[in-house]
Amino acid sequence: MGKIMGEPTRIRAPELPDNLEWFNTDQTLTLASQRGKVVLLDFWSYCSINCMHVMPDLRYLERKYPETLTVIGIHSPKFENERLGPQLQKAINRHHIRHPVANDPGFQLWRAYGIKAWPSTIFIDPEGFVVGVLRGEGRRKQLDELIAKHTAAAQEKGVLVRSPMPVTLQPEPESTLSFPGKVLATRSNLYIADSGRNRVLETHHDGKIRRIFGSGTGGMLDGIETAAMFDNPQGMVIVGDFLYIADTGNHALRRIHLKSGEVMTLAGTGKQGRYVADNFREPLDAQLNSPWDLGYHEGNLYIAMAGQHQIWRMNLNHQAIERYAGSGREDIVDGPTDRAGFAQPSGLAVHDGRLYVMDSETSAIREVHLTQNLVRTLVGKGLFDFGDRSGVGLEARLQHPLGITVDAERNALWIADTYNSKIKRIDMQTSEVSAFKFSFQLNEPGGLSLYRNKLFIANTNEHQIVALDLQTRMAEVVNVRE
């Protein structure tokens, strides 16, 4: 995180290049055309949880200053997959971005403005001069105060222009599901995190909907079935009569009583936590940070706290929640759980006393020994080491993987290698990673669940659940319907 820079000399903001690919607008924007308004340049990459955390703040400011503020997203991609225009369009729609976005895979503006890290926000005053840069997330209050100050100054000078920014959207096709993030298969049902519609669906294996949990409107409200509200729900796990849900957008842990259909909040205040204690006596007072997936082992619920780069643990018998693994620093560090480093953990699976973690920003698979409290890396090397390569252990390369499930019969882990849009298999004994080939094109799959020989895949960007028969290698779309 940085501080707002001073302004001893006024620096004219470098103009936007004319060779960028634009989204949410039908014109090539220039800063000159926005003279008279405050302009925020949001430097982001759609993989980053920190960049995701900035989005609600930008929405708030856009609503508060609809005529005097222009927000322009400058997408500076980290991963190869993010450089592709169609993938960026999907991310824009998935995150409900309603301002113009420029794709800058060559990092032209990153260099021109001296950006050092994601996310960063450049503040440009109504006369076209750079006021400063704010680095990191959690800057809503500072930005709000700066916008008010510079808008008032421009009004006094008579240079303020009031004009809403026209936006041209490219909506997704109509479908029952919207960007489903995770799926969970049981003997008789599928549970689908219909993330883009803020719902959880209970269906038969053939896709026939049995029950819907969540009204479809984003929010945080307990209640029975559709009376409840979620916000971008993701990972799930069943323990007894209860379905536990990582309610990512609400920074909360929710629970559905499967017999009654009642939705309850177990942990979280609904607000994002940034600095947290090691444990909380009252889980409802705990400030979570984008929980993304869940795992269960011997009375404990393990939580992939993506926004905190940690693994948390909740004891379901004593209703106590605590930090379990991870220093909180975004990194890839093995060793004792309290000193280990994770980077946006987004998928969990438990087998034989071990917790397997999809560490998305390091494109890694981590293993946590739950008795010895030790972390080791099975696949992955660093924050910028990624690719699409089979091999044994550290020889292999993945690209921002999000989903994982255990196949005890085959002694394997199945991996959603999300940004490679592939399914991969890792042998738990040898750590050999190989792509599983079948004739179906996936698009950034986010979650997996195995029941017998069927691997159910949340094919997130195509708004689908796909059923893959591991014996025949035949895949078909599950017809999710009322």
- DSSP code at position 106: T
3-state secondary structure at position 247: strand
pLDDT of residue 319: 87
> Whose CA is closest to 4, among 87, 125, 97?
125
Instruction: Kindly provide the residue ranges of all beta strands, DSSP E only, lying in 136-251, ordered along the sequence.
Output: 182-185, 189-194, 199-204, 209-213, 223-224, 233-239, 242-247
Give the model confidence (pLDDT) of 190-233 as tens digits.
Answer: 999 999 999 999 999 999 999 999 999 999 999 999 999 999 99
CA 247 to chain CA centroid, Å, is 12
Per the CB < 8 A criterion, the answer to whether 260 and 207 are in contact is no
Percent of the chain with pLDDT over 70: 98
* Domains of the chain from N-terminus onward: 11-157 (3.40.30.10), 182-477 (2.120.10.30)
Per the CB < 8 A criterion, the answer to whether 247 and 220 are in contact is yes
CB-CB neighbours of 1 under 10 Å:
9
Q: What is the pTM of this model?
A: 0.96
Give the model confidence (pLDDT) of 118-159 as tens digits.
Answer: 999 999 999 999 999 999 999 999 999 999 999 999 999 999
pLDDT of residue 3: 47
Assess whether pLDDT exceeds 80 at residue 242: yes
Question: Rounded to an integer, what distance in angstroms lies between the CA atom of residue 440 and that of residue 422?
Answer: 10
Give the model confidence (pLDDT) of 46-69 as tens digits.
Answer: 999 999 999 999 999 999 999 999
pLDDT of residue 280: 78
Question: Rounded to an integer, what distance in angstroms lies between the CA atom of residue 403 and that of residue 421?
Answer: 11
Assess whether pLDDT exceeds 90 at residue 279: no
Q: Quote the tokens at residue 109.
A: 């503006």
> Whose CA is closest to 182, among 230, 236, 228, 253?
236
Question: Rounded to an integer, what distance in angstroms lies between the CA atom of residue 55 and that of residue 41?
Answer: 13
Would you place residue 278 in the very low, low, confident or very high pLDDT band (cuts 50, 70, 90)? low
pLDDT of residue 8: 60
